[in-house]
Amino acid sequence: MSHLLEVRHVTKKFGGLTANSDISFNVNENEILSVIGPNGAGKSTLFKMISSFLPTTAGEVLFKGERISNLKPHVVARKGVVRTFQETTIFKSMTVRESIIVAQHLRARASLAGYFWGTKTAHEDVDSFGQYADDLIDFLGMTEIANEQASNLPQGNLRALGIAIGLATDPKVLLLDEPFAGMNHDETMKMVNLVRKVRDDRGVTVLLVEHDMPAVMNISDRIVVLNFGEMIAEGTPAEIQNNEKVIEAYLGSADDEIGI
Amino acid sequence: MIQWAGVVIFLLAVFIAIPGFIAASGRSDLYYTLTSVALLSIASAGVWLTFYIGRINIGQGAFALIGAYVSAVLVTKAGMSFWLSLPLAGLFAAAVAVVIGVPILRLRGVYFAMISLVLTQVVTLTALALPITNGAKGITSIPLPGGVSALGLTLIPDFATLENPRLAFYYAASVLMVLTFAAMYRLVNSRLGHLCRSMQQNEELASSIGVNISYIRVIVFAISSFLGGIGGAMFGSIAQSVYPSSFQVADSVNFMLNCFLGGLGYVFGPMLGTLVLYFGWDLLFELGRFQLLAYSSMLIILMLFLPNGLLSLRLPGKKEADK
């Protein structure tokens, strides 16, 4: 297995506060890797640096050996590393299908002027966007809500819509921001299956940030644990569950929260 | 089919019924009013487009003034044909918009609105200071547009030789307006329009799917200002003069109000908004010193009860077709 994504000595300081300190790990092709940690551990900051929504203070993130940190988000997306957001970040007054069509921006072959004048390539693009959207909607089991306006969707569907928008860009790596937050057990299991399906059927490598322990233990091939901005452990779910430092970090929270 | 019928009726009304009515009633002053409406609606269409990427633009007066001056200078100082100066005026305004837009389009909401509000004043003051714009005296006695002919055919007659240049201006402005709104409709329904909508709704998500949002913002602002420049240039040609006060902050505000009134969700909103606002103001003239009071009260009431503009009065089913 080759390293698809490499996080190398990444550090982030906000004034005197160190949010991430010298974090290094690799993500292999076709794996699901989770970054976990208690609140305030620096997960979100790390997530934003990997997707270039925040610049790093030191260190770098490489994708296929190319630096993707400290760029613009759309450039990183263009290279194939695409993030999702939590549920409120959607195109509110578009339907599910429209959102997925617009999100295929990177697959466009015609220029913007081409679409304006309606060239042959543009027509082909528009047809292919529609086709791809229908395929993706089918794949994600969203057929029933395809023409529903996003602002009318319940929370669980919004999460799935967020993933659909990310997938529409045809990414190599999908970065998921707390995909299970605020979900009950059934919803979480559905989402776990969905994420797994995305990896298995579409060959998308997944890096997710999350604090729902049972779900993370269930879904992840490997886990990276952060605490107070430092990386304290890395390993398979079984290794993490028996790691003393990890147990210590979570001490004070109930044991079942880390799925032991 | 219904849409095409609407387009045909509209074109017949603008190019045949209205001139026919004016000729029959002898109210040729209406030509000037309607020409103004057509030109102002072109500039308003530009403002509408910046609303479409989620920016409140109160600076269109600046670009209208730039367009008017560029055309006036090219015609009077360089002896250029007006019809060549017209697109150049638009392009110059667009170029200025690119230079100004790169830094200021990063701002959102009220911050962008405030900066754009200042632009008109900046251009006015610049026009007062520069020698080429002739300061407060402005540029006067601009000749009427000359003719254009190709292969021995007269495409556009020389306006100075016409019996009724007002009618000619009315036709010219109407053709420009129809072209503008046809292009706007096409643009909004093409990929650029979809990307604008995605940015209006969520810029972060748009950039995460690979949209170069700063590039699209500048492109849209340039198109918007191009339309402002065209409208302004044509206005200057009709008035045959341009002064630093030809377009003021109040005009910039009106361009924005036209969009609000017509409806931000509808391509043809700015056209209807301009028509209603322009005629509404004139109709209230009888009220004398209460004119402004009545006018603003009506605007407030309209926006309270029709926040999505006049066009939202139509059947909901039509809404999607326009978008």
Asked if B190 lies within 8 A of A82 by C-beta distance, the reply is: no
**Using 50, 70 and 90 to split pLDDT, how confident is the model at B314?**
low
* Chain A (152-191) residues lying within 8 Å, Cβ to Cβ, of chain B: 165-166, 168-169
Q: Do A74 and B219 touch (CB under 8 A)?
A: no
Under the banding of pLDDT at 50, 70 and 90, the label for residue A101 is very high
Subunit contact B207:A73, Cβ cutoff 8 A: yes
Total domains in the fold of chain B? 1
Confidence of residue A143 (pLDDT cuts 50, 70, 90): very high
Instruction: From chain B, pick out residues whose CB is under 8 angstroms from the CB of A85.
Output: 204-205, 208
CB contact under 8 A, A84 and B187: no
Q: Taking CA atoms, what residue in B is nearest to A166?
A: B209
pLDDT digits (tens, 9 = 90+) for B289-302: 888 898 888 888 88
Using a CB-CB cut-off of 8 Å, the residues of chain A touching B194 are 98, 101-102
* pLDDT of residue B224 exceeding 50: yes
Mean pLDDT across chain B: 90
SS3 (DSSP) at A208: strand
Tell me the mean pLDDT in the region A173-181.
Answer: 92
Q: Which of A85, A94, A110 sits opposite B197 (nearest CB)?
A: A94
pLDDT the model gives residue A2? 66
Residue B318 pLDDT level (bands cut at 50, 70, 90): very low
Distance from CA of B290 to the nearest CA of A (A): 41
pLDDT in tens, B208-218: 999 999 999 99
Q: Does A130 touch chain B if contact means CB atoms closer than 8 Å?
A: no
CA distance B202 to chain A (A): 6
- CA A251 from chain centre, in angstroms, equals 28
When pLDDT is cut at 50, 70 and 90, the band that residue B309 belongs to is: confident
Say yes or no: domain A3-80+171-258 is CATH 3.40.50.920.
no
pLDDT tens for each residue of B20-79: 888 888 888 889 899 999 999 999 999 999 999 999 999 999 999 999 999 999 999 999
pLDDT at B61: 96
Lowest mean pLDDT among A96-110, A158-172, A246-260, B42-56: A246-260
Restricting to B residues 156-185, those with a Cβ less than 8 Å away from any Cβ of A are 183
B205 and A73: CB-CB below 8 Å? no
Q: What is the CATH number of the domain that holds B268?
A: 1.10.3470
The residues with which A18 forms a beta bridge, in sequence order, are A13
Tens digits of residue pLDDT in B88-140: 999 999 999 999 999 999 998 899 999 999 999 999 999 999 988 888 888 98
How would residue A251 be classed by pLDDT, with cut points 50, 70 and 90? low
Q: Does A115 touch chain B (CB under 8 A)?
A: yes
The pTM score is 0.90
Distance, CA of B19 to CA of A243 (rounded, Å)? 86
Residue B273's pLDDT band, with cuts at 50, 70 and 90, is: very high
pLDDT band at B238 (very low <50, low <70, confident <90, very high): very high
Residues of B in contact with A90 (CB under 8 A): 201-202, 205
Task: Among B53, B208, B212, B215, pick the best mutation site for testing chain A contact (most A Cβ within 10 A).
Answer: B208
Q: How many CA atoms lie within 13 A of A34 on its CB side?
A: 24
Q: Tell me the C-alpha distance between B208 and A169, whole Å.
A: 9
The number of C-beta contacts closer than 8 angstroms across A and B is: 85
CB contact under 8 A, A102 and B194: yes
Indicate whether B152 belongs to any domain.
no
Residue B304 CA to its chain's centroid (Å): 25
Q: Which amino acid is at A122?
A: A
Of A74, A84, A85, the CB nearest to B213: A74
Q: Quick check: A178 pLDDT over 50?
A: yes
Inform me whether the pLDDT recorded for B319 exceeds 60: no
Q: What range does the domain containing B30 cover? A: 2-147+157-322
| Spatial distance between the Cα atoms of A192 and A199, rounded to a whole number of angstroms | 11
In a domain, B41, yes or no: yes
Q: Which residues of chain A from 39 to 58 reach within 8 Å of chain B, CB to CB?
A: 51, 53
Annotated domain spans of chain A: 3-80+171-258
Burial string for B38-52 (b: 16+ CB within 10 Å, else e) reads bbbbbbbbbbbbbbb
What is the rounded average pLDDT of the residues B9-14?
91
pLDDT at position A68 over 50:
yes
What's the CA gap between A252 and B251, in Å, rounded?
64
Q: Do the Cβ atoms of A105 and B211 come within 8 Å? A: yes
Distance from CA of A247 to the nearest CA of B (A): 35
User: Tokens representing B211?
Assistant: 């949209």
Q: Which of B261, B244, B285, B271 is nearest to B123 (CA)?
A: B244
Q: How confident is the model at residue B263 (pLDDT cuts 50, 70, 90)?
A: confident
Contact A116 B194 (CB under 8 A): no
